[in-house]
Amino acid sequence: MTMVPSTQRRGVPLLSASLRIKPGLAVAIAFLVLIVVVAASASFLPYDAYRQDLLHRNSPPSWNHILGTDELGRDMLARLAIGARVSLVVAVTSTVAAVLIGIAVGAIAGYKRGWIDSVCMRFVDSMYAFPDTLFAILIAGVVKGQLNQSSTDFFSPITALYKMSGGLFGVFLTLSFTSWLVCARIVRAEVIILRSAEYVAAARLAGASDLFVMRRHILPNCLPVIIVSATFVVPSAILLEAGLSFLGVGVDPPTPSWGAMIASGVRSMQSYPHLLITPAIAVGLTLLSINVIGDALREHFDPSFRRGGEAS
Amino acid sequence: MFSFMLRRVLASIPTLLVVYTVTFAIAHLTPGSPWDSASANRPMEPAAKAALDAKYNLDEPLQVQYIGYLWGAVQGDLGPSFRDPSQSVADIVKKFLPTSLALGSMAIALAIVMGLLLGVVAALTRSRALDTAILFFCTFCVSLPTYIITAVLIVTMGVGLGLVPTFGWKGLFSTSAIVPVVSLALAPMAAIARYCRNCVLEVMHKDFVRSARAKGVKRSRIIAVHILRNALVPVVTVAGSYASSVLVGSFFVESIAGVPGFGRYFVLAVSARDYPVIIATTLVYAVIVVLCNLLVDIAHFMIDPRTREDVR
C-alpha cells in the first residue's frame, strides 16, 4: 500500500516522555542487551565454537555443555554466541547500507520530481513484484559466484574481504541490495512534503544550492522517518540472513550462523529436538524483541505507522 | 470499471518487462554454466558442452537470447528445462503451481477469517488483558520465521502428539495439509488482526456509528455493517500484499513439510542454474503479484463506494 504521509507529526515529543517504559518493552530491551553482550563476549566463553568432539555428539544439555552439543560435538552455546555476532553484525551493517541507498534514491526522486522521480519509483514498484526471499536467493547466488570466481585486480580486495569474512561480506551485499526499497519509498514521501515547506522556499530564495538545502533543511527533518524505516529493515535483515544461511547460500560453514543451525536442527528434529529448539528460541526471541522495540519507536515518531506495523 | 481494469492491466506490462530484464540479467550473471553441476566430478567434454549450448541457443549473443525467450514467453512457450529435459517449463509450472496455489488460498482464507476475528475481538473487548494478549500474540506471529513455525509445529503436533504426519503430502483435505497451511497463515493473520483492530478503534467513534446507535440499531448489526465494512478496506490491502508470497508457496514450508510445490522447485532450479525455470518462476510470481493487486483494487471498488469516483 502507499504510505500516507502525516502532516500532524511536526513537533515530535521528547523520546523519554513518550517511551514510558512499559514492562514488555523493558523485557525486550533487556533481552537485546543480553544478546549483544553474549555476542560481544563470544570469544571469552570456555568452549570453542569450532572444536569438534565426536565422542559427545548430539548430547543433550548438561553441566559440561549448558545447551548440549551439535551433530559434530561442538558446544551449542558457543556456536549460538558466535551466530549472534554474525546475525547482528550483518543486520546492522546491511541496514545502514540499505538505508543510505534508500535515502539517496528517495531524496533525489522526491526533491527533483519529474522524470527522475517517475523512473526511480517505477523501478522500485517493479522490484516489489519480486518475491523478496527468492530475489535474495538469486542475488546471493550471483554475489557468491562472482566473488568466488573473479581474480581480476579490480575485484581482488573485495574477494579477499569476502574470503576473510567467511561469506559474511556476500550476505551483507545481498541484504543491502534487497532491502533499500521500503526506505526509498518512505524517504521520498517525506521529502515531497518537506520541499514545499516555507523555510525551504526561503533558503532557496536566499540563493542556497540544492545540496545545501538538502543537507541543512530536508535530511535532518527526515530523521524520524529514516529511523522508522530502519525499524522495518533490521528484523527483515536478520530474518533474511537466517533464511539464506538456512538454504546454504549465506555464511559459509564452519562459521556458525543461526539460520544454518536451525537448518541442521530441522534435519535431526525427530531424534534430537534440542538442536532445533535452542537456535529457534534465540532467533524467535531476538526478532520479537526487535519488533517490540520497533513498535515503540514507530509509535513515538509517527502514530500513523501504528496501524499494524507492516510496511510495503 | 472495465476501462479501469484495462488500464491497470496495461500498466502492469512495464512492470513485467522490468522483472523479466532483471531476472534475465541475474540468471546470466551467475557464473558457471547449467552443465557444470550435472557432473561435478567428471567434467563434460568441451564438444558436448558446445553441442548443448547450441541446442538451447546459449551460444547466441545475449541480446538475441533475451528477445528470443521473451518472444516465446509471450506465446506461452517458456522453454525446456535444462535440469530435466524431458519436460518443458510450462509443464513444470502446471505440475507444481496448483499445489502451492491451493495451499496458499487455504492459508490466506484462514488468515483473513482468523485475523478479522482476532482484530475485532481485540478492539471491542472491554478487557484490557485480552487486548494486550492478542496484540502480543500477533507481534509474536509476525516475528517468527515460517521455518521455525513449521518445524516447531511438526515436532509438537507430529512427533509429540502424533496428530499429523511429520513429512509428506496427501492432498489439501488431509491431515498432512494442517501444518503447512497454519504456518503459512500465521504471519498474514497477525498483520490483518493488527490493522483490523486499529481500524475498528478508529471507526468506532465516527459520527455515523453514534447515529446508528442512537437510532437503536442492534449492536451486532452496527459491528457487521457499519464498523466492519469500513475496517475491511485496509484489511484487503494487507491481505493482498501477503497473498502473492503465500500463494506462490514458501520454500521453507514446502521443503520442511515435504510438499511438492512451486517454492521448493524454484530453489532447486537456482542451484542447478536452470535459466528457463528461474526466469519462468519469477515471471509467474510477478504475474501473481499483479493479479493480486488488481483483485485488491476490485475488492476496494466493491467494498468502498467512495473509491469509485477516482477510477472512472
For B161-180, how does the pLDDT look when each residue is reduced to its tens digit (9 = 90+)? 767 776 767 766 777 778 88
Cα distances (Å, whole numbers) of residue A298 to A182, A302, A305, B235: 15, 6, 6, 20
Binned at pLDDT 50, 70 and 90, residue A14 comes out as low
- What average pLDDT does chain B have? 78
Q: Is residue A52 part of a domain?
A: no
Q: Is residue A57 part of a domain?
A: no
Axis-axis angle for helices A219-247, A132-149 (nearest 10): 80
CA angle A133, B287, A309 (to 5 degrees): 50
Return d(Cα B120, Cα B200) in angstroms, integer. Answer: 7
Q: Are A24 and B136 a contacting pair at CB < 8 A? A: yes
Q: Are B234 and A1 a contacting pair at CB < 8 A? A: yes
State what percent of residues in chain A have pLDDT above 70. 72
State the cell numbers at A312.
510495503
Query: Per-residue pLDDT tens for A125-143?
Result: 888 777 767 777 777 777 7
Binned at pLDDT 50, 70 and 90, residue B244 comes out as confident
pLDDT value at residue A150: 57
Q: Is residue A87 part of a domain?
A: yes
Q: Across chain A, how many H-helices and E-strands are there?
A: 13, 0
pLDDT value at residue A163: 65
Residue A244's nearest CA partner among A123, A125, A102, A91 is A91
Q: Are A134 and B251 a contacting pair at CB < 8 A? A: yes
ipTM value for the complex: 0.74
Q: Are A243 and B147 a contacting pair at CB < 8 A? A: yes
Q: Is the pLDDT of residue B305 over 80?
A: no
pTM exceeding 0.90: no
Q: Which domain holds residue A200?
A: 22-36+66-301
Q: Is the pLDDT of residue B108 over 50?
A: yes
The number of residues making up chain A comes to 312
Higher pLDDT pick, B39 / B67: B67
Q: Enumerate residues 48 to 87 of chain A having a beta carbon within 8 A of any beta carbon in chain B.
A: none
Q: Is residue A95 part of a domain?
A: yes
Residues B52-68: what's their mean pLDDT?
A: 70
Binned at pLDDT 50, 70 and 90, residue B21 comes out as confident
**CB < 8 Å to A247, chain B:** 251, 267
Binned at pLDDT 50, 70 and 90, residue B110 comes out as very high
Three-class SS state of B167: coil
Q: Is the pLDDT of residue B4 over 80?
A: no
What CATH number is associated with residue A177?
A: 1.10.3720.10
Judge whether A138 is closer than 8 Å to chain B, CB to CB: yes
Q: Is residue A9 part of a domain?
A: no
Residues B215-226: what's their mean pLDDT?
A: 83
Highest mean pLDDT: which range of A161-175, B146-160, B168-182:
B146-160
Highest mean pLDDT: which range of A258-262, B35-39, B94-98, B189-193:
B189-193
Of the partner residues A247, A283, A288, the one whose CB lies closest to the CB of residue B267: A247
Q: How many folded domains does chain A comprise? A: 1
pLDDT value at residue A3: 46
pLDDT value at residue A6: 45
CB-CB contact of B82 with B273 (8 Å):
yes
pLDDT value at residue B189: 92
**CATH architecture assigned to B91-308:** Orthogonal Bundle (1.10)
Give domain limits for chain B: 1-89, 91-308
pLDDT value at residue B312: 44
Higher pLDDT pick, A95 / A278: A95
**CB < 8 Å to B263, chain A:** 134
Higher pLDDT pick, A244 / A50: A244
A149 to chain B: closest CA residue: B31
> Where is average pLDDT lowest: A150-159, A283-292, B240-249?
A150-159
Residue A275's nearest CA partner among A265, A287, A263 is A265
Size of interface A-B (CB pairs under 8 A): 146
**CB < 8 Å to B16, chain A:** 129
pLDDT value at residue A1: 40
pLDDT value at residue B200: 86
Judge whether A210 is closer than 8 Å to chain B, CB to CB: no
pLDDT value at residue B55: 65
Cα distances (Å, whole numbers) of residue B279 to A247, B13, B53, B96, B273: 20, 16, 18, 16, 10
Higher pLDDT pick, A94 / B276: A94
Q: Are B151 and A266 a contacting pair at CB < 8 A? A: yes
**CB < 8 Å to B253, chain A:** none
Residues A9-21: what's their mean pLDDT?
A: 55
Residue B244's nearest CA partner among B93, B101, B94 is B101
Three-state secondary structure readout of B200-231: HHHHHCCHHHHHHHHHCCCHHHHHHHHHHHHH
Q: Is residue A225 part of a domain?
A: yes
A306 to chain B: closest CA residue: B198
Q: Are B19 and A126 a contacting pair at CB < 8 A? A: yes
The alpha carbon of B97 is separated from its chain's Cα centroid by a whole number of angstroms, namely: 11
Residue B215 distance to chain A (closest CA, Å): 30
Binned at pLDDT 50, 70 and 90, residue B293 comes out as confident
Q: Is residue A104 part of a domain?
A: yes
Axis-axis angle for helices B128-143, B178-204 (nearest 10): 130
State the cell numbers at B138.
500477533
Residues B209-225: what's their mean pLDDT?
A: 84
Residue B186's nearest CA partner among B240, B225, B149 is B149
Q: Are A130 and B31 a contacting pair at CB < 8 A? A: no
Cα distances (Å, whole numbers) of residue A177 to A61, A129, A282, B269: 40, 15, 26, 22
Residue B166 distance to chain A (closest CA, Å): 9
Higher pLDDT pick, A230 / A18: A230
Q: Is residue A306 part of a domain?
A: no
